[in-house]
Amino acid sequence: MRRALLLAIALAAPCLAQAAGFDAPGLARFDTGYARCEARFAHMKGARDEAYLAVYRVKADAKARARLAELRRSAAYRKEQRAAQAEAAKPAASAPASPLEQQCQALWTQVQRARSTAKG
Protein backbone atom coordinates (compact mmCIF):
# COMPACT_ATOMS: atom_id res chain seq x y z
CA MET A 1 0.00 0.00 0.00
CA ARG A 2 2.75 2.39 0.96
CA ARG A 3 4.72 1.61 -2.18
CA ALA A 4 1.68 2.22 -4.34
CA LEU A 5 1.20 5.63 -2.75
CA LEU A 6 4.86 6.53 -3.28
CA LEU A 7 4.68 5.36 -6.88
CA ALA A 8 1.57 7.46 -7.49
CA ILE A 9 3.25 10.52 -6.02
CA ALA A 10 6.37 9.94 -8.10
CA LEU A 11 4.31 9.63 -11.28
CA ALA A 12 2.24 12.72 -10.48
CA ALA A 13 5.21 14.96 -9.61
CA PRO A 14 6.08 15.95 -13.21
CA CYS A 15 2.45 16.82 -13.87
CA LEU A 16 2.30 18.95 -10.75
CA ALA A 17 5.52 20.72 -11.67
CA GLN A 18 4.18 21.42 -15.13
CA ALA A 19 0.88 22.76 -13.81
CA ALA A 20 2.59 24.88 -11.17
CA GLY A 21 4.81 26.58 -13.72
CA PHE A 22 2.08 28.32 -15.64
CA ASP A 23 1.02 31.26 -13.51
CA ALA A 24 0.98 34.87 -14.68
CA PRO A 25 2.68 36.50 -11.64
CA GLY A 26 5.48 33.93 -11.62
CA LEU A 27 5.98 34.31 -15.35
CA ALA A 28 6.18 38.11 -15.01
CA ARG A 29 8.83 37.85 -12.30
CA PHE A 30 10.75 35.32 -14.38
CA ASP A 31 10.61 37.55 -17.46
CA THR A 32 11.93 40.51 -15.49
CA GLY A 33 14.84 38.47 -14.15
CA TYR A 34 15.53 36.89 -17.52
CA ALA A 35 15.71 40.34 -19.11
CA ARG A 36 18.57 41.11 -16.72
CA CYS A 37 20.33 37.92 -17.84
CA GLU A 38 19.80 38.82 -21.51
CA ALA A 39 21.29 42.26 -20.91
CA ARG A 40 24.36 40.71 -19.33
CA PHE A 41 24.84 37.60 -21.50
CA ALA A 42 24.31 37.89 -25.25
CA HIS A 43 24.02 34.13 -25.78
CA MET A 44 20.82 34.09 -23.70
CA LYS A 45 18.91 36.51 -25.96
CA GLY A 46 15.82 35.12 -27.61
CA ALA A 47 15.49 32.00 -25.46
CA ARG A 48 13.10 33.34 -22.80
CA ASP A 49 10.23 30.91 -23.44
CA GLU A 50 12.59 27.99 -23.83
CA ALA A 51 14.29 28.89 -20.55
CA TYR A 52 11.02 29.21 -18.64
CA LEU A 53 9.78 25.89 -19.95
CA ALA A 54 13.14 24.22 -19.23
CA VAL A 55 13.01 25.30 -15.60
CA TYR A 56 9.72 23.47 -15.18
CA ARG A 57 10.78 20.62 -17.47
CA VAL A 58 7.95 21.26 -19.89
CA LYS A 59 8.40 20.39 -23.53
CA ALA A 60 8.91 23.60 -25.54
CA ASP A 61 6.24 22.93 -28.14
CA ALA A 62 3.75 25.24 -29.85
CA LYS A 63 1.04 24.54 -27.27
CA ALA A 64 3.28 25.51 -24.33
CA ARG A 65 4.50 28.65 -26.11
CA ALA A 66 0.91 29.62 -26.91
CA ARG A 67 0.02 29.23 -23.23
CA LEU A 68 2.87 31.55 -22.26
CA ALA A 69 1.76 34.11 -24.85
CA GLU A 70 -1.77 33.91 -23.46
CA LEU A 71 -0.51 34.50 -19.92
CA ARG A 72 1.56 37.48 -21.06
CA ARG A 73 -1.59 39.12 -22.41
CA SER A 74 -3.42 38.77 -19.09
CA ALA A 75 -4.08 41.62 -16.67
CA ALA A 76 -2.46 39.68 -13.81
CA TYR A 77 0.77 39.35 -15.80
CA ARG A 78 0.87 43.05 -16.69
CA LYS A 79 0.19 44.07 -13.08
CA GLU A 80 2.94 41.83 -11.70
CA GLN A 81 5.33 42.85 -14.47
CA ARG A 82 4.93 46.53 -13.57
CA ALA A 83 5.57 45.72 -9.90
CA ALA A 84 8.60 43.55 -10.71
CA GLN A 85 10.08 46.16 -13.02
CA ALA A 86 9.59 48.87 -10.40
CA GLU A 87 11.35 46.68 -7.85
CA ALA A 88 14.19 45.92 -10.28
CA ALA A 89 14.62 49.62 -11.05
CA LYS A 90 15.40 50.40 -7.42
CA PRO A 91 19.13 50.74 -6.81
CA ALA A 92 20.62 47.68 -5.18
CA ALA A 93 22.43 48.18 -1.90
CA SER A 94 25.84 47.42 -3.41
CA ALA A 95 24.80 43.87 -4.24
CA PRO A 96 27.55 41.92 -5.98
CA ALA A 97 26.94 40.83 -9.56
CA SER A 98 28.03 37.28 -8.86
CA PRO A 99 24.65 36.00 -7.58
CA LEU A 100 23.00 37.26 -10.77
CA GLU A 101 25.70 35.64 -12.86
CA GLN A 102 25.27 32.36 -10.98
CA GLN A 103 21.50 32.44 -11.48
CA CYS A 104 21.83 33.23 -15.17
CA GLN A 105 24.38 30.48 -15.70
CA ALA A 106 22.25 27.95 -13.81
CA LEU A 107 19.25 28.90 -15.90
CA TRP A 108 21.25 28.59 -19.11
CA THR A 109 22.43 25.15 -18.02
CA GLN A 110 18.76 24.13 -17.73
CA VAL A 111 18.12 25.41 -21.26
CA GLN A 112 21.08 23.46 -22.61
CA ARG A 113 19.92 20.32 -20.81
CA ALA A 114 16.40 20.70 -22.25
CA ARG A 115 17.82 21.20 -25.74
CA SER A 116 19.94 18.07 -25.51
CA THR A 117 16.97 16.07 -24.23
CA ALA A 118 14.79 17.31 -27.09
CA LYS A 119 17.41 16.35 -29.69
CA GLY A 120 18.09 12.91 -28.27
pLDDT over threshold 90, residue 26: yes
pLDDT of residue 94: 55
- Structural domain including 65 reads 2-119
pLDDT of residue 89: 82
Q: Which range (13-22, 46-55, 63-72, 96-105) has the least confidence?
A: 13-22
What are the DSSP calls for the chain, one per residue? -HHHHHHHHHHHHHHHHHHHH--HHHHHHHHHHHHHHHHH-GGGTT-HHHHHHHHTT----HHHHHHHHHHHTSHHHHHHHHHHHHHHHSPPSS--SHHHHHHHHHHHHHHHHHHHHHH-
pLDDT digits 0-9 by tens, 53-89: 999 999 999 999 999 999 999 999 999 999 999 988 8
> How does residue 97 score in pLDDT terms, banded at 50, 70 and 90?
low
pTM higher than 0.85 for the full model? Answer: no
pLDDT of residue 96: 57
Domain count of the fold of the chain: 1
Q: Give percent of the chain with pLDDT exceeding 70.
A: 77
